[in-house]
Amino acid sequence: MRAWERNTNCGLKRTHTVNPQSAITSPPALTGGRNPQSRRAFTLIELMLVLVILATLAAIVTPRLTGQSKRAKVIAAQAQIADFGTALDAFEIGVGRYPTSVEGLQALIQQPTSEAQDWQGPYLNKNTVPLDPWGNEYQYRCPGQYNPDGYDLYCYGPDGKQGGDDDISNWSEEVRK
């Protein structure tokens, strides 16, 4: 069915189509001149605007998250060195000495063969000595170069190389100089 109205110049003109299955029809003025069942797609400009907004957010957030990741790994290495310190102190209390450089940190999870009859380990929760957050082994030396009465425990940090300002250790920077 078609709805008609009188046009002052030419007689009758069609205004909109009436759907016969619908009891109520909406005039074109209420539907924005479009058929209410038609689908509207996004324009290219709208899609480009969304992409620009997402790229801007990514440019702002990404550097902040990557910096936090590096800082989190440093904090994790410091915490692991502190945990090793607790385990090494428990080893020293039980055996009467710290593990030698040759025995290394492995003495915390496996009884050394040399003079460690009072070993009461394992002193670490896991059956393996954990790696640093960058996937490298922790370095252990006893007696220590920087702690002559104890041990030196450190990791090479993000660059994986000895020396530099990124090494993480159990001694203070004043002792190193």
Please report, as a single letter, which amino acid is at residue 158: P
Q: In a structure prediction context, what are the per-residue pLDDT tens digits for the chain, which is 177 residues long?
A: 455 555 555 555 555 555 555 555 555 555 555 565 666 788 888 888 899 899 888 888 877 777 677 888 889 999 999 999 999 999 999 888 999 999 999 999 998 877 767 888 788 888 889 999 999 999 999 999 998 889 999 999 888 888 778 888 998 765 444
| Contact call for residues 123 and 91 (beta carbons, < 8 A) | yes
Q: Which residue has the tokens 């000495």?
A: 97
Superfamily for the 75-176 domain: Glycoprotein, Type 4 Pilin (3.30.700.10)
Tokens in use for 105?
């940190």
CB 88 within 8 A of CB 129: no
Check if the beta carbon of residue 139 is closer than 8 Å to that of residue 153: yes
Tell me the C-alpha distance between 71 and 75, whole Å. Answer: 6
pTM assigned to the model:
0.61
* Domain layout of the chain by residue ranges: 75-176
